[in-house]
Chains A and B, each alone.
Chain A
């Protein structure tokens, strides 16, 4: 088994043969399945650098190869310790694949392991440049709720909200486009100095917050409109 080049990797002693082993998945001395070494993140699990542009078919192939080796099906007749370990290792593999496959989850995860974003962080403040539009939207939503309660004609309001929804959908696409551009900047700066990388991460973080805010808006509007 190949080893993952990462500075964070701690030396590990195999639970079975007690040799020091550097194998990521199987002990290089006795071949038994081992714990994931400390400090191995999802990127190094897949033996790739912390880059944001990932070639999907390559990721999938690696995922299938590792699934083949780690899946609990292989350990039905093994000891309980190995069965537990295979369950843990294959769940970690699936979690890693689920995260890296999704472009947004991938950025969130990168920022988390780089220490730039706390788990579950979502700023729910409106981005300043959207303040006016958000204010109008919320007003229309309130009107819609009132109109629904009193049973008055909703056609005009509905049309206004639908166009606002479209408008925010466009903004969502813009944010996604910006995220892509910034992700490429991150990949280009992978080997660059830490100040430049910090700046890019701050930008990514801000874009994620903006995206999450707009997506919530769109979901809320769609929900209110769906109930009409």
Chain B
């Protein structure tokens, strides 16, 4: 049977990894641009073709209304859930959407699982090109604190992408698996995982037995709406204010200008992880250039609230595991945002222990997914992962209260049985409302499903129906009912509160196969053209900048010639030629790119391409 891959479906970037048969070590699959990171960005062309990853990311600047990023924030959520996100992210929610969000991209409408499916399909393509064989089974990671509907949405995305999802693994647990192989750790481990859009903390116990290593998760906690994006949002809001003080500008989140500013600020943020100060120089539409000098201290003061918000879940996870910070033998940092010195310092101080950062924080989750894939694939029986459910499962009782039936941090699979009977004679149905969360009232918890148990007419109190709630190894709920009087199994039509129906998934799967029919060469051509378009736009724009006047005539002529050559190749259909000429133009515009940057940052960014500035 074909191999099983491990996939990290991230807010910002996604990766696919496998276990190398010879070394037994997990490795990430490189994409067509050499990087193992596939930006979780999707763009739809005017002709309806789909562009994913790096070329789609470039289109965030040129075609923001046809391009979407951070879609993971919308997975498994309803329109009412995401109102606060809409102020900060350029999501265009279709007016008709209710419990399942529909996002408008150009003239098409997609659900978040469909968009995620395109990203998964891209990674599937990477893996198939790399192995030269079909890949149709995967382990996919999810934030540990994802609820049932968010997990189900992720599983649906896999299905739509033509992947059988054998297991959903929690991201921090995956990271621990990857580190376990790497470091041969024992004892108690805390994994602090701050990604682009989600925060997780997990406490694990690593146990060596005669049969192999067991990774037992003791507790987990987190916030599915807290991540590196929030740091960017704070930074962006701060600079918006400053700019608005001396220029009238439309900073609607959909606009090109906001996207460009965000990109520039992320650059500044990255520089400040390395050096003590960095300067933002941002050309405004008026021709003025906005300049602001940031120190690391100022950035940290600004972003401290985000870091502070991670500490409440950390404390709760430790309390649930009945452990103190000093009980930890190891601390592991995961997620791109943990590169920032403030986070490293905060975590180190709290646990009084230097955290592990040896593995690339962008890759470690995917590597762990590959480890779990290998366990399932080859039946490698030297490791076992015992994970937990992050949230309590409850049933609505009289008066809108919630009775917890499976407490949070229960090892999964986990189950609970509840006995139901009727309250009035000849009652034919019992309404059951299943929820997830820690609050006492149903209205404050996440509604997972409502259904009606059908009961044959009988005197009140006589029917005895046992309902079994089971959370599987993926953290996803299953419900079954049994009539205890005759042992008959009842089938239950569970209408998920926020999910997509099976028939809808079938339809989406068919549609996505149509998209997938585009052959490899065709996709390469589309991507190369998109990339060319993006760099041509960036070059044309750069040449209108006053700074470009200092180019000498020979340089200018060389740029004009390479632009013309690239335009000519785009009209043809040889994607390799287009790629070659893109490289040519990138090379020809290196000096121009440097000119556009402040002298202060140019040294740090030497060798950058124009489209990245």
Tell me the A residues contacting B by CB distance below 8 Å.
Answer: 64-65, 67-68, 71-74, 76-77, 87-88, 90-92, 94-95, 97-98, 119
List of A residues within 8 angstroms of B445 by Cβ? none
List of A residues within 8 angstroms of B209 by Cβ? 64-65, 68
The docked-state distance in angstroms from the alpha carbon of A83 to that of B473 is 11
The stretch of B178-186, B350-358, B405-413, B598-606 that contacts the partner chain: B405-413
- Besides A67-B214, A73-B376, 8 other A-B contacts (C-beta < 8 A): A64-B207, A65-B209, A68-B209, A72-B413, A76-B376, A76-B379, A87-B473, A98-B411
Contact across chains for B379 and A77 when beta carbons are under 8 A apart: yes
Q: Output the least CB separation between A217 and chain B (Å).
A: 16
Contact across chains for B416 and A95 when beta carbons are under 8 A apart: yes
Q: Output the least CB separation between B411 and chain A (Å).
A: 4
Q: Does B472 contact A (CB under 8 A)?
A: yes
List of A residues within 8 angstroms of B212 by Cβ? 68
CB under 8 Å from chain A, chain B span 462-477: 470-473
Contacts A73-B376, A73-B385; A97 near B472 (Cβ below 8 A) = no
List of A residues within 8 angstroms of B385 by Cβ? 73
Contact across chains for B376 and A94 when beta carbons are under 8 A apart: no
Q: Does B375 contact A (CB under 8 A)?
A: yes
Instruction: List 13 contacting pairs A-B, 8 Å CB cutoff, sorted by A.
Output: A64-B207, A64-B209, A64-B216, A71-B384, A72-B473, A73-B384, A76-B166, A87-B472, A94-B411, A94-B413, A95-B416, A97-B411, A98-B410
CB-nearest residue of chain B to A105: B407
The docked-state distance in angstroms from the alpha carbon of A35 to that of B212 is 26
Count residues of B near A (Cβ-Cβ below 8 Å). 29
Q: Output the least CB separation between A95 and chain B (Å).
A: 6
Q: Does B386 contact A (CB under 8 A)?
A: yes
Q: Output the least CB separation between B291 and chain A (Å).
A: 48
List of B residues within 8 angstroms of A95 by Cβ? 414-416
Most A CB within 10 A of own CB, among B385, B407, B413: B413
Closest 8 CB pairs of A and B: A91-B413, A91-B415, A94-B411, A76-B376, A72-B473, A94-B414, A90-B413, A87-B413
List of A residues within 8 angstroms of B386 by Cβ? 67, 71
List of A residues within 8 angstroms of B379 by Cβ? 74, 76-77
Contact across chains for B384 and A94 when beta carbons are under 8 A apart: no
Most B CB within 10 A of own CB, among A90, A91, A97: A91
Contact across chains for B411 and A87 when beta carbons are under 8 A apart: no
CB under 8 Å from chain A, chain B span 404-439: 407, 410-416, 419
The secondary-structure label for the interface of chain A is helix
CB-nearest residue of chain A to B478: A87
CB-nearest residue of chain A to B1: A77
Q: Does B381 contact A (CB under 8 A)?
A: yes
Q: Output the least CB separation between B49 and chain A (Å).
A: 36
List of B residues within 8 angstroms of A68 by Cβ? 209, 211-212, 214, 384
Q: Output the least CB separation between A39 and chain B (Å).
A: 16
List of A residues within 8 angstroms of B416 by Cβ? 95
Q: Output the least CB separation between A4 and chain B (Å).
A: 21
The docked-state distance in angstroms from the alpha carbon of A92 to that of B417 is 11
The docked-state distance in angstroms from the alpha carbon of A74 to that of B212 is 14
Contact across chains for A87 and B384 when beta carbons are under 8 A apart: no
CB-nearest residue of chain B to A87: B413
The docked-state distance in angstroms from the alpha carbon of A77 to that of B413 is 18
Q: Output the least CB separation between A24 and chain B (Å).
A: 18
Contact across chains for B411 and A73 when beta carbons are under 8 A apart: no
The docked-state distance in angstroms from the alpha carbon of A94 to that of B216 is 12
List of A residues within 8 angstroms of B407 by Cβ? 98
CB-nearest residue of chain A to B380: A73
Contacts A64-B209, A67-B214, A74-B381; A94 near B166 (Cβ below 8 A) = no
A-B pair count, CB < 8 Å, reads 61
Q: Output the least CB separation between A40 and chain B (Å).
A: 15
List of A residues within 8 angstroms of B414 by Cβ? 91, 94-95, 98
The docked-state distance in angstroms from the alpha carbon of A88 to that of B472 is 9
CB-nearest residue of chain A to B388: A94
The docked-state distance in angstroms from the alpha carbon of A95 to that of B471 is 11
Q: Output the least CB separation between A64 and chain B (Å).
A: 6
Contacts A92-B415, A94-B414, A119-B419; A73 near B211 (Cβ below 8 A) = no
Q: Output the least CB separation between A10 and chain B (Å).
A: 15
List of B residues within 8 angstroms of A90 by Cβ? 413, 473
List of B residues within 8 angstroms of A92 by Cβ? 415
The docked-state distance in angstroms from the alpha carbon of A71 to that of B413 is 9
The docked-state distance in angstroms from the alpha carbon of A64 to that of B419 is 30
List of A residues within 8 angstroms of B470 by Cβ? 87-88, 91
Contacts A72-B473, A76-B166, A95-B416; A64 near B214 (Cβ below 8 A) = yes
Q: Output the least CB separation between A214 and chain B (Å).
A: 19
List of B residues within 8 angstroms of A97 by Cβ? 411
CB-nearest residue of chain B to A71: B384
Q: Output the least CB separation between B161 and chain A (Å).
A: 20
Q: Output the least CB separation between A170 and chain B (Å).
A: 21
Contacts A64-B209, A71-B384; A94 near B214 (Cβ below 8 A) = no
The docked-state distance in angstroms from the alpha carbon of A77 to that of B4 is 12
Q: Output the least CB separation between B188 and chain A (Å).
A: 14
CB-nearest residue of chain A to B472: A87
The docked-state distance in angstroms from the alpha carbon of A186 to that of B386 is 33
Which of A67, A76, A91, A98 is close to B384, meaning CB atoms less than 8 Å apart?
A67
The docked-state distance in angstroms from the alpha carbon of A218 to that of B386 is 34
CB-nearest residue of chain B to A120: B403
List of B residues within 8 angstroms of A67 by Cβ? 214, 384, 386
The docked-state distance in angstroms from the alpha carbon of A73 to that of B384 is 8
The docked-state distance in angstroms from the alpha carbon of A88 to that of B469 is 11
List of A residues within 8 angstroms of B207 by Cβ? 64
List of B residues within 8 angstroms of A88 by Cβ? 415, 470
Q: Output the least CB separation between B390 and chain A (Å).
A: 15
The docked-state distance in angstroms from the alpha carbon of A73 to that of B211 is 15
CB-nearest residue of chain A to B381: A74
Contact across chains for A94 and B410 when beta carbons are under 8 A apart: yes
Q: Output the least CB separation between B275 and chain A (Å).
A: 44
The docked-state distance in angstroms from the alpha carbon of A94 to that of B414 is 6
The docked-state distance in angstroms from the alpha carbon of A88 to that of B478 is 11
Which of B1, B375, B471 is close to A73, meaning CB atoms less than 8 Å apart?
B375
Contact across chains for B214 and A73 when beta carbons are under 8 A apart: no
- Encoded as 1 (CB less than 8 Å from any A CB) or 0, chain B from 196 to 216 comes to 000000000001010110101
CB-nearest residue of chain A to B414: A94
Q: Output the least CB separation between B129 and chain A (Å).
A: 26
Contacts A67-B384, A67-B386, A77-B379; A94 near B211 (Cβ below 8 A) = no
The docked-state distance in angstroms from the alpha carbon of A94 to that of B470 is 11
- Encoded as 1 (CB less than 8 Å from any A CB) or 0, chain B from 379 to 403 comes to 1010011100000000000000000
Q: Output the least CB separation between B375 and chain A (Å).
A: 6
Q: Output the least CB separation between A108 and chain B (Å).
A: 14
The docked-state distance in angstroms from the alpha carbon of A170 to that of B437 is 30
Most A CB within 10 A of own CB, among B379, B386, B407: B386
CB-nearest residue of chain A to B212: A68
List of B residues within 8 angstroms of A76 by Cβ? 166, 376, 379
CB under 8 Å from chain A, chain B span 190-246: 207, 209, 211-212, 214, 216
The docked-state distance in angstroms from the alpha carbon of A77 to that of B378 is 10
List of B residues within 8 angstroms of A94 by Cβ? 410-414
Q: Output the least CB separation between B33 and chain A (Å).
A: 33
Most A CB within 10 A of own CB, among B375, B407, B410, B411: B411
The docked-state distance in angstroms from the alpha carbon of A67 to that of B385 is 10
